[in-house]
Every structure is written in structure tokens, then in C-alpha cells.
Amino acid sequence: MGNLNMPSRWRQDFPVPSGEDSYVTRREFTKFLGLTSLAFLIGTCAAVGRKLVTQFFPRQLGSVAVADIHEIPVGGYKLFRYPTEDDPCILLRLAEDKFVAFDQRCTHLSCPVLFDAARKQLACPCHEGFFDAEDGRPLAGPPKRALAQLSVTTENARVLVRGASAVGAVYDRAFGAPACEGCAVTDRAYSKNEPVRGQQEVTA
């Protein structure tokens, strides 16, 4: 009989109405959702803020020597990584006294672009995008944005490049450009400084 009276005694010792208990539970759950949403909003705003600051106020990096002047003939090119190993770039020699350098990734879907010396163009082999080798502006195909260009100078018979920390598909890194399925092969070959899909590097 003692066991049968346990529920009644429990209610007497802990008199919490079921309706109030349900209200407290809902209130705590609502409070939890509110705090979670606020934390998510703060984190998102902070991430977007950092990306925008990097995009519009990039930190300037120091100059880096990437080649000797006599290493690249007129119409030739050299691949290098700048400012990190994850940022492929390409150095072009358009004339005896003119060097230009760009981020190598196409601004469409980040395929590595190839140098066509005869046409003075940089071509994307994945989706037939073309850029002017003089300034990186898009000429034809899907790309709508110019290639990120680095500053190039010469000193003591060396070619030096300088850019910003945001160089290299700034918009893509900030807002997440989709990956291209056909880019893996070209990127692997270019990472070894090898010709890709029929392109021949001009050598001295």
C-alpha cells in the first residue's frame, strides 16, 4: 500500500503544476534558440567583416625575386607561387623591357590560365575564357572580371613581384567561387611548371 501512495506524496512534496512546468520548458527553449541565433549572427557578421576588410584594405606584402632577367626570353613565361604556396601566379615577358605578372587562376572557375605568346593572351583551357596579357582584362568567354595583377619591377638583373595579401581571385576566396572539375589536371601539371594541353613553354 505504501508504494501506491508514492505518487501522491511526491506531488505533495514537489507541488509544481503541470501547466507551469510546460511553460517554463517552452520559455527556456525559446531563450536557447534566441541565444543560438544571436551567436550565429555575430559570427557571420565577423567573418564577412574580415573578408571585406581584406578585400578593400589589403595588407601590402614585400617584393620577392621570382626570376633572373635573362632566365625568361621575350614571349616566355615562368610560374611561381605568391604570396603563399596556395597562390599560383604567372610571370610573362612581353617585350625586352616589359614584364607582367598575374594570379594564374581564371576568374570564372579558377582553372589555371595558359599563355599564348602569339596572340598576347592568357587562355583558360577549361571553358575558353581569354584575357589580355597586357593588363589581364577579360576579352572573351565566361570570365567577367580581370585577372589579379601583381606589380613587377627589375633590380640587379632580377625580376621582383609585389602584391597585396588579397591578390589571387580576391572575390572568389571572399565569396566562394565554385570549383571546376576539369581544373585538377591542369593545376597538377602547372604546379610542376609543365606545359598543359599542347602549350609549349618558350625557352632560351
Q: Does residue 109 contact residue 172 with C-beta atoms inside 8 Å?
A: no
Q: Is residue 199 part of a domain?
A: no
The pLDDT of residue 189: 45
Same domain, 81 and 43: no
Range of the domain at 155: 64-191
The pLDDT of residue 200: 37
Q: Does residue 120 contact residue 112 with C-beta atoms inside 8 Å?
A: no
Closest CA to 185 of 198, 196, 199, 169: 196
Looking only at the bridges linking them, the beta strands covering 98-103 and 114-116 are unpaired
Q: Is residue 46 part of a domain?
A: yes
Same domain, 115 and 33: no
The pLDDT of residue 30: 77
For range 14-33, the mean pLDDT = 64
Q: Give the confidence band of 44 by pLDDT, cuts at 50, 70, 90.
A: confident
Above 50 in pLDDT, residue 151?
Answer: yes
The pLDDT of residue 187: 46
Above 90 in pLDDT, residue 133?
Answer: yes
For range 146-173, the mean pLDDT = 76
Q: Is residue 86 part of a domain?
A: yes
The pLDDT of residue 4: 54
- When comparing pLDDT for 110 and 165, which is higher? 110
Same domain, 180 and 140: yes
The pLDDT of residue 183: 52
Same domain, 178 and 103: yes
Locate 85 and state its grid cell.
604556396
Q: Is residue 203 part of a domain?
A: no
Identify the weakest region by mean pLDDT among 23-32, 137-146, 187-196.
187-196
Q: Does residue 113 contact residue 190 with C-beta atoms inside 8 Å?
A: no
User: Considering the entire predicted model, what is its pTM?
Assistant: 0.59
Sign of the dihedral through C-alpha 154, 156, 158, 161: negative
Same domain, 44 and 141: no
Q: Kind and range of the H or E element at 9?
A: helix 6-13
Identify the weakest region by mean pLDDT among 67-81, 127-141, 189-203.
189-203
The pLDDT of residue 163: 84
Q: Give the confidence band of 174 by pLDDT, cuts at 50, 70, 90.
A: very low
Return the percentage of the chain with pLDDT > 90, whole number: 48
- When comparing pLDDT for 167 and 14, which is higher? 14
> What one-letter code names the amino acid at 131?
F
Phi, psi of 108 (to 5 degrees): -85, -70
Reported as a single tens digit per residue, the pLDDT across 51-104 is: 665 555 555 678 899 999 999 999 999 999 999 999 999 999 999 999 999 999
Q: Is residue 179 part of a domain?
A: yes
Same domain, 12 and 70: no
| CA 86/CA 166 separation, integer angstroms | 12
Where is the domain boundary, 16, 36, 56? 56
Q: Does residue 144 contact residue 155 with C-beta atoms inside 8 Å?
A: no
Locate 130 and state its grid cell.
581569354
Number of structural domains the chain divides into: 2
